Each structure stands twice: as C-alpha cells, then as structure tokens.
Amino acid sequence: MSEETAAGERFAIGIAFGNSSSSIAFTNPDGKAEVIANEEGDRQIPTILSYVDKEEFHGTQAKAQLIRNSKNTVAYFRDYLGKDFKSIDPTPSHQSAHPQQSDSTVTFSIHDTSNETPSTVSVSEITTRHLRRLKQSASDFLGKTVNAAVITVPTNFADSQREALVAAAKDADIEVLQLIHEPAAALVAYDARPEADVKDKLVVVADLGGIRSDVAVVASRGGIYTILATVHDYELGGANLDQVVMDYFAKEFIKKHKVDPREDVRGLAKLKAECEATKKALSIGTNATLSIESLTNGIDYGSNINRTRYELLAAKVFAQFTSLIESAVKKAELDTLDIDEVILAGGTSHTPKIARLVEGIFPETTQVFAPSTLPSAINPSELAARGAAYQASLIQEFDAEDIEQSIHPMVTVTPHLSNAIGVQLVSADASAADAVFRPLVNANTALPARRVAQYLAPKDGGDVLVRITEGTREIKVTKPEPKAKKEVDEDEEDSDIDSDEDEEEEDIREIVWKATKTIAEVAVKGVKAGGKVEVTININSDLGAQITAREVGGKGGVRLAVESQPNGSA
C-alpha cells in the first residue's frame, strides 16, 4: 500500500481529464514523463462511473456496465461541470444516466447506495469520485500518496468550470497546482523530449477526441507558446466514426435477420461497445472482426470489415476533421504554408487515414506528428497527461503563492511583435528593393526577446552593411501556364533558386518576405574574406531594441539602441 506523504510535502502527478477518457502520468527521476496504468492495466481510463449494489465501478469496468446497468452509469460528464443545466448538451449521455436539473447545477439520479430510492448526485460529486479513483490508482502505482496535480482543460473552459474543477479536486484531497490548456500540454510533451530542439515555429495542435474536437494554432517562440486561434466542434469526434461502423454492421445484420439492432436499447449499447473496439483495431490492422453474443432477439452475430471499406464509408467524417483544421489556420489569418508542425492529439488521431489526409493539406515541409506519419511520434492519447506531468514536476517545488503570481495576467499578457524583424542582405550594387530579407525575430514573438544569427559576409570581405528591417510575409502565386486551374501547395523558402516549372497547369504558391520598414543600418568595417557577421537583437517589452553587429571572432563590434518612442531618433 502507499506510504503517507509527509505533511507539507507535495507529491504531484499530471491528470488529463477528458469526457471520454482520462489519463494519469508522473515524471520519473530522470525527468521523463510516463503514463501510469491503473490496476486494470489501462492507460486510457474511461471517464465513467457505475454503481451495482452500492459498489462503485470505474473505468473499463464501469464502461461494461453501459450495457446492463446504463441507468446507474455516469459517462461524458466533464463538460457538464460548472455549467448551467440549460447550457449543456446532454446528447452524449442518452445511453447512460441522464443529467437532471437541480437548482442551477447538473445532477444525476443513480442507485449508489443499498437504499431503494435513488440518490441525487451532483456532477461535482461525480467528478470528485472520479478524481479520487485516479488518485488512488496513481498512489498505488507510485507507492506514495499523491496530493497534488496539474490538470489539463480545453482552451475554452470558462472560469466557472475551472473553479468547479478545482473545488471537486479539493474534495478528492488533490491540490490543483495549475490548470493548463490541452494544446499547450501537447506542445510541452513534445518539447520536453531530450531530442527536441526548441525553435521558433508555428504549430497546429489538433485534439481529436471522443465526442468533441479542438484545434489550436500556436506560435512557439523560444519555447514560449502563444495561442493565436482556436476552433471547437462539439459534434465531431471518434463517436462519429463509431457511428459509421455501427451503421455498416447494422445494415448487414438487417439484411440477414430483418431486425434492426439499433432499435433495441441493449442491442445498441452492445453494438456501440463492439464497434468502438473494431474501429480501434482498424487503426492498427487492415482487417478487423466483430462478434457479439446475442445482439438482439438472442441472435449471435459475427462479421468483419477491412480498412479500405471503412475508410470509404468514413470519408465524409474524415473530411470534417481536415476542414476543421483548415478553418483553424484560416482563423489565425495564416496560410497552410506558414505551419511548420502539426501535432495530432487525442484518441482519434490514431486513425492512419486522418494523419495522411492532414499531411495532404499541408506542404511537404510541414511535419505531421502522428503514429502513422512519424515513427517517433508520441502516442496521441498520452500527450496531454505527459505534458501535465512534466509541468507538475517543474512547479511542485514552488509555493502556491509563487505559482499564483507566475500565472497571473500581469505575467501572461505580454506584448507580441506584430511584424517580423530581420536582416536584409544588401549587395553593393543592388537596389534596396532587390535585397533578400531573412527573418530573425518572427512575428508574434513574445517580448522581451533576444535572437542571434550569423550571416556570411561577401567572399572578398571588406565593409559590410547590415540593415535591420521589419518584414511581412506574402503568399506569391505563380501561374506557369495561363490556363492554370488547380491549386497546389508548394513551399520553397528561397524564392529565387527553386522553381518547379515542369509541373504544368498548377499554381505555385510560395512564401515571399517583403521588407516594409527599415529600422536601422549598421556598418561593420574590415571583415576578413569569407568571414561571418553576427547580429544580436534584443527587444524589450517597451519595444526598445538593442542591436549589436560584429564580425565573428573579431573584437568590439557596433552597438546601437533603438528608442521605444514611435518616430524616434533618425
């Protein structure tokens, strides 16, 4: 059994609390986050509680009760927490205990005691019981009582929901160190890997869940994340794919036996449970079987489906996922060419076809992190829990007051650069308009920021001019043939070198940087032949900047300061 954690000491884990499933993770002494399996061996623990003769079942065991004991089984309750009864959508709970109104909160009427009359249990209480079980599983595994946690929440979780979650966790004797957003947790999970290199990039985090999907576009600048746009779809998730499989098998069953198993409550529950398992099998193998004992009217049913057919039937749902991702990029006022990485999170991201379709909407240079497109990808179901565990390990030493102060809006609301700042490479005889612009500090970088880069000086050395400018990126569409109709994404950073002219009748879309405003000019004199010039730029939060330019290996260099005042010194 677990040993008691000493008073005043914290022992924290990461909890990913989802509507369909939850995970728990901890950070091992080497600093690597690991997901904990509960006593049943599940790492994705269904967020379900069920009561049979006053005994409480949790996770997979409770999920099995959806068939025989649906009225005393509570599922999909995360999004009800801290909400008004009128504002919830109870659709997902139709096949389990129904949410009911009691004052302003949401309750469930379930037989959780040996009494004849059902008791009314609030959703907060249900959450507390669920978190208590998760805590118990983690404590049993780690051999030490867990008393603190970092919990992940969706980006659009309202303050009332956050408060309700913290209160419910407190009732389960869990101190919530911090609530972090799911996309940020996924990013941290990837950036915490030892092989990850933290650089400036634009990332799309697509969290494809069981009954909802959330996509966030995040600017990652020097390891600091800024969410640029989010979109949510509460009717899109793995459940839609389950429905596709269910409809397919139900139709087959009707053909054979002239009964629709979906019209029978228990038959529907059985079919749903099995079809979900079949869908999961199709993410791993190319063929999956389904067999249900006594599906309806006492008829046993067995059949199989291959991946090609499944992908054909689910094509419509897959397209909804990709258009959700595209709409998020659009909402951030970006182009798919701007995106450097796509992180697929959530259980539905295991589907190979979704990862391939997502790859298709982005240029080839964009990396898609999913098990089927990148072998080194982290299990998408575990991302949120790992990120939370990592964050928990970072802050568990801090005082509560310290954490509070650090996550205060005073700290999190930060000025961000509106335009990229870069260095223009000017050759002696070219006019300024021809100069190539290289971004050094990207747009949407949180201030203060510091960047250093080295540039090759002209071959024969001599004096060098470094021109610091602001720049914007534009999408240039080149039409090689006048009758071009189709659009194709081609990403070429260097606009002048590469050209795919041989691809006829297709527009070539590429990113072009345009210098808009010169900030400063610096001369570095007497650079040796073949030498490099190093440019350091420091931007303060008041938009003042210090720029240093020097020859690599040389001494001194030129320093200058740009005033924060608009229309400052010239």
Partner 1 sequence: PALPQGWSAEKDFKVLSALSSATQRNVEPVGPHFLAHARRLRHNRTFSEDDRI
- Read out DSSP for 143-157? TB---EEEEEE-TT-
Q: Which of 520, 528, 552, 554 binds partner 1 (CB under 8 A)?
A: 520
**Count of residues touching partner 1 (by CB under 8 A):** 85
The CB-of-205 to partner 1 minimum distance in angstroms stands at 11
Token pair of 265 as six digits: 């409550």
DSSP per position, 97-157: PPEEEETTEEEEEE--SSSSSPEEEEHHHHHHHHHHHHHHHHHHHHTB---EEEEEE-TT-
218 scored as a contact of partner 1 (CB under 8 A): yes
Residue 60 near partner 1 by CB under 8 A: no
Query: Which position among 7, 411, 433, 497 is part of the footprint of partner 1 (CB under 8 A)?
Result: 411
Please say whether the beta carbons of 509 and 415 come within 8 A.
no
Nearer residue to partner 1 within complex by CB, 320 or 419: 419
Of 295 and 533, the one with the shorter C-beta distance to partner 1 is 533
The pair of three-digit structure tokens given for residue 20, joined into one six-digit string: 């369909």
| Spatial distance between the Cα atoms of 16 and 486, rounded to a whole number of angstroms | 42
- Asked whether position 482 contacts partner 1 by CB under 8 A, the answer is no
Pairwise CA distance, residues 65 & 133, whole Å: 17
Name the residue nearer to partner 1 (CB basis): 423 or 508.
423
Cβ proximity to partner 1: between 448 and 554 the closer is 448
Taking the alpha carbons of 495, 498, 502, 508 in that order, is the dihedral positive or negative? negative
Q: Per rule CB under 8 A, is residue 536 in the interface with partner 1?
A: no
Instruction: Reply yes or no: is the peptide bond before residue 92 cis, omega within 30 of 0.
Output: no
Selected binder of partner 1 within 465, 511, 512, 552 (CB under 8 A): 465
User: E strands, 157-223, where?
Assistant: 175-181, 201-208, 213-221
Give the nearest distance from C-beta 248 to partner 1 in angstroms.
41
Site string for partner 1, 417-456 (x = CB under 8 A): xxx-x-xxxxxx---------------x-xxx-x----x-
Q: Does 33 bind partner 1 (CB under 8 A)?
A: no
Stretch that binds partner 1, among 32-40, 50-58, 84-92, 558-566 (CB under 8 A): 558-566
Asked if 512 interacts with partner 1 (CB under 8 A), we say no
Asked if 354 interacts with partner 1 (CB under 8 A), we say no
The end-to-end CA distance of the chain, in Å, is 72
C-alpha closest to that of 519 among 564, 455, 460: 564
Interaction with partner 1 in 370-389: which residues (CB under 8 A)? 387
Do residues 218 and 381 make contact, with C-beta atoms less than 8 angstroms apart? no
**Contact between 15 and partner 1 per CB under 8 A:** no
Chain positions 221 to 250 lying near partner 1, rule: CB under 8 A, are 222-228
Among 111, 133, 181, 262, the residue binding partner 1 under the rule CB under 8 A is 181
Q: Shortest gap between Cβ of 481 and partner 1 (angstroms)?
A: 37
Q: Is 400 in the site for partner 1 (CB under 8 A)?
A: no
User: Going edge to edge, which strands form the sheet with 532-539?
Assistant: 449-456, 532-539, 545-551, 558-562
271 or 457: whose CB is closer to partner 1?
Answer: 457
Could you tell me which stretch among 1-9, 71-79, 92-100, 521-529 binds partner 1 (CB under 8 A)? 521-529
Decide: 130 and 49 in contact? Cβ < 8 Å: yes
Joined together, the tokens standing for residue 122 give 């609030």
- 554 touching partner 1, by CB under 8 A: no
Contact of 244 with 462, CB cutoff 8 Å: no
HSE, CB side, 13 Å, CA atoms: give it for residue 124: 18
Tokens (6 digits) for 379: 């299990």
Q: Following DSSP, what letter does each residue of 59-81 receive, concatenated? A: THHHHHHHHH-GGGEEES-GGGT
In the set 25, 62, 187, 378, which binds partner 1 (CB under 8 A)? Answer: 187
Sole binder of partner 1 in the list 78, 130, 133, 467 (CB under 8 A): 467
